Amino acid sequence: MEVLRGTGNLALTIIPQPRPPAAQELTSRAAPANRVGRLGIFAETWTAALGDLLPPPRVPTGIVVLALSPDPTAVTSRLRVGDLIHDLNDVPLVSVDHLRAELDRLKEGDQGVLTVEREGRMRYLEFEIP
């Protein structure tokens, strides 16, 4: 593609990127067994099988948010379907059970930070245990 920039033409190469999957594809995988109540999510441990449903992650480990679970005691509502949670308080997470165990170690008033990959970018989500 050529674009007029000032007085000259600029040649650009545009490479189409696959669209992220519809949220319904991930949400359909949610089941009571993958509920993480303290975060208000349904989640699944990252595996290569999820590679067809998500863009390639920067770090291929962690916990995928499948769906949100309305829960008045959830500590954060800033997670989104498709987020990949890598760490909780700098502890690398290897499974949903590991995430639950780390959350259970936190007491009322404790601070937490999730390292989350969203749309190819790393983010830090802070929260406090109610």
For residue 19, pLDDT beyond 70: no
pLDDT digits (tens, 9 = 90+) for 34-84: 999 889 899 999 998 887 788 888 888 999 999 988 776 666 678 999 999
Residue 64: per-residue pLDDT: 95
Instruction: Name which residue leads in pLDDT, 105 or 20.
Output: 105
Average pLDDT over residues 4-21: 74
Residue entry with tokens 């997470």 = 93
CB 42 within 8 A of CB 31: yes
Tens digit of pLDDT for each residue in 93-126?
999 999 999 999 999 999 999 999 998 899 999 9
Task: Tell me what pLDDT residue 72 has.
Answer: 61
Q: Which domains does the chain have, with CATH numbers?
A: 18-128 (2.30.42.10)
Q: Is the pLDDT of residue 7 over 70?
A: yes
Q: What is the pLDDT of residue 48?
A: 86
Specify the pTM.
Answer: 0.79
| Rounded CA separation 128/109 (Å) | 6
Average confidence (pLDDT) over 19-29: 72
Q: Mean of the pLDDT values across residues 14-38?
A: 79
Rounded to whole angstroms, the Cα distance separating 76 from 82 reads 15
Residue 127 belongs to what H/E stretch?
strand 121-128
pLDDT of residue 17: 63
